[in-house]
């Protein structure tokens, strides 16, 4: 079986085959290849920086050499774009407030919030809705379930439904007593 192969079909290597690989030469070639690609990368990075600098200079030159009419037109386009983005952003903020409040707050409370809240506060610098601010705002409007704050009832102690009767105090007790006295069981 020896060096030619064994029953598994693999060939055995002799010590002379492994020693013939020049690892030092391979490492030097890999280092040279790495240095070549780093050099090319630096060259291209420098070229990009140069082209960006030229583009900035060209834009500055064009802006300086615009006529008054072109400057006014560019300003009007910028103002119109900002106004349109602001209007669209405000609509998106209102929609996000409604979506975030669905199931958490009543529709009436959401309408009141939208009536009194300055929705511009929820626009980012890019005139897009800041959804994290909206979510924080809505969560701050939700009554705390542990204290019952803002709900008109006490904390939920997990003892089931409460009676929905409006009468309280002595009048409620007297009505309860009268209702029991008139029951058919006593007749």
Q: How many CA atoms lie within 13 A of 156 on its CB side?
A: 8
What pTM does this model have?
A: 0.45
40 within 8 A of 47, measured Cβ to Cβ: no
pLDDT confidence of 160, banded at 50, 70, 90?
Answer: low
pLDDT confidence of 172, banded at 50, 70, 90?
Answer: confident
pLDDT of 1 higher than 50: no
Q: What is the largest CA-CA distance in the chain?
A: 117
152 within 8 A of 130, measured Cβ to Cβ: no
Q: What mean pLDDT is predicted for residues 49-54?
A: 96
pLDDT of 120 higher than 80: yes
pLDDT confidence of 2, banded at 50, 70, 90?
Answer: very low
127 within 8 A of 87, measured Cβ to Cβ: no
pLDDT of 33 higher than 80: yes
pLDDT confidence of 106, banded at 50, 70, 90?
Answer: confident
The position carrying tokens 């006490």 is 154
pLDDT confidence of 48, banded at 50, 70, 90?
Answer: very high
pLDDT of 187 higher than 60: no
Q: What mean pLDDT is predicted for residues 120-142?
A: 88
pLDDT of 38 higher than 50: yes
* φ, ψ (nearest 5 deg) of residue 123: -90, 140
The position carrying tokens 């037109």 is 73
pLDDT averaged over the chain? Answer: 81
Enumerate the β-bridge partners of residue 123.
129
Q: What are the domain boundaries of the chain?
A: 25-64, 89-147
For residue 96, give the nearest of 123, 71, 78 by alpha carbon.
123
Pick the range with the lowest mean pLDDT from 6-10, 17-21, 49-53, 71-75: 6-10
Directed axis angle between helix 68-101 and helix 131-141, to 10°? 40
For residue 108, give the nearest of 116, 93, 165 by alpha carbon.
116
Report DSSP letters for 122-181, one per residue.
GB-TTSSB-HHHHHHHHHHHSPPTTTTTTTTS----SS-PPP-----HHHHHHHHHHHHH
Distance between CA atoms of 134 and 124, rounded to whole angstroms? 11
């Amino acid at each position: 079986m020896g060096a030619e192969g064994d029953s598994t079909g693999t060939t055995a290597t002799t010590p002379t085959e492994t020693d013939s690989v020049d690892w030092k030469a391979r490492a030097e070639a890999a280092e040279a290849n790495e240095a070549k690609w780093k050099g090319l990368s630096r060259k291209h990075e420098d070229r990009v920086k140069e082209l960006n600098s030229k583009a900035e200079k060209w834009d500055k030159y064009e802006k300086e050499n615009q006529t008054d009419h072109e400057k006014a037109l560019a300003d009007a386009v910028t103002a119109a774009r900002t106004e349109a983005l602001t209007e669209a952003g405000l609509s998106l903020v209102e929609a996000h407030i409604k979506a975030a409040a669905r199931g958490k707050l009543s529709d009436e409370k959401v309408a009141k919030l939208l009536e009194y809240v300055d929705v511009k506060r929820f626009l980012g610098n890019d005139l897009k809705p800041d959804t994290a601010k909206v979510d924080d705002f809505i969560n701050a409007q939700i009554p705390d379930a542990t204290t019952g704050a803002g709900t008109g009832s006490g904390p939920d102690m997990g003892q089931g439904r409460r009676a929905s009767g409006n009468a309280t105090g002595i009048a409620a007790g007297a009505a309860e007593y009268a209702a029991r006295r008139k029951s058919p069981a006593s007749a």
